[in-house]
Amino acid sequence: PGSGGEFSVVQALQGLSHEGFLQVLSVVFKVVAACLAHLSQLSSIVRDDILRAAKVPAPATNQVSKDIRAVLQVVADVAQGRWGKLVSARSHCTPRLKLYEFQSLAAICTSFAALLEPHSPRAAAAVRLVALPQCR
């Protein structure tokens, strides 16, 4: 379903070797980690430097902090959804995985879930659920 471009991406993912697919997941992991780290740093700068220097009242500062946490959660939720699509696109390959290949896939999924956990426990749990069908 979806556009022709989406279908060709799925085909490309299915055509990758296991190592190639892990490289794709690794790049996605690094990009998401960089985005979350950048947003966290930006949050600190806004809260600790700008708002404090401007002597913004505590209730307004608390609201800004809450809004920044909400943005981080949205980023984590979107990342989880895309991760799920990537892993699901290769689900037909799972029965052919060797044990070490499955372990490497499980390890990167676990690491990705841990990356998302501080920002969205729901997204982290969903990543773990995406990995479960790969166990069958």
Convert the pLDDT of each residue in 6-53 to its tens digit: 568 888 888 899 999 999 999 999 999 999 999 999 999 998 888 889
- What is the Cα–Cα distance from 89 to 131, expressed in whole angstroms? 12
CA-based radius of gyration for the chain: 18
Positive or negative: CA dihedral 55, 60, 62, 68: negative
Q: What pTM value is reported for the model?
A: 0.84
111-117: long-range contacts, CB 8 A cutoff, minimum separation 24:
111/29, 112/25, 112/29, 112/32, 112/83, 115/29, 115/32, 115/33, 115/36, 116/32, 116/76, 116/79, 116/80
